[in-house]
């Protein structure tokens, strides 16, 4: 265990950040799962709605520094393409 005050403070700060990062990560992952579930069931409207929520959650994670910008962009791009392909196949 640390003995210096600044080391003790750093431990507390790290724990607080770890818990926040974990919550943000869980939130965006759950949103992505909802999009994928809607895609698998073939519900284009539900997938589109879930996609908007997922994009917001991903953007929030990027702004908080939980994931990098390019990673967030990759997630959004792949989900958007999948939803678009589903909508296109439903229309055809």
Using one digit for the tens of pLDDT, what is the confidence trace for 64-78? 999 999 999 999 999
Rg of the Cα atoms in the chain: 18
Question: What SS3 class is residue 64?
Answer: coil
Q: What b/e readout covers 50-73, taking b as 16+ CB neighbours within 10 angstroms?
A: bbebbbebbeebbeeebbeeeebe
What is residue 8's three-state secondary structure?
helix
pLDDT digits (tens, 9 = 90+) for 29-84: 999 999 999 999 999 999 999 999 999 999 999 999 999 999 999 999 999 999 99
Compute the distance between CA of residue 63 and CA of residue 58 in angstroms, rounded to an integer: 9
- pLDDT score of 91: 77
Question: What pLDDT is stored for residue 81 in this prediction?
Answer: 97
Q: Please tell me the CATH superfamily of domain 5-91, with its number.
A: Ribosomal protein S20 (1.20.58.110)
Q: Exposed, middle or buried by CB within 10 Å (0-12, 13-18, 19+), for 79?
A: buried
89 pLDDT higher than 80? yes
């Amino acid at each position: 265990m640390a003995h210096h005050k600044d080391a003790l403070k750093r431990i507390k700060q790290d724990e607080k950040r770890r818990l926040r990062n974990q919550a943000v990560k869980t939130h965006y992952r759950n949103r992505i799962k909802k999009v994928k579930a809607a895609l698998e069931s073939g519900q284009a409207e539900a997938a589109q709605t879930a996609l908007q929520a997922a994009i917001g959650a991903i953007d929030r994670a990027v702004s908080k520094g939980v994931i990098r910008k390019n990673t967030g962009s990759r997630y959004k791009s792949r989900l958007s393409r999948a939803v678009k392909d589903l909508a296109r196949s439903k229309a055809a």
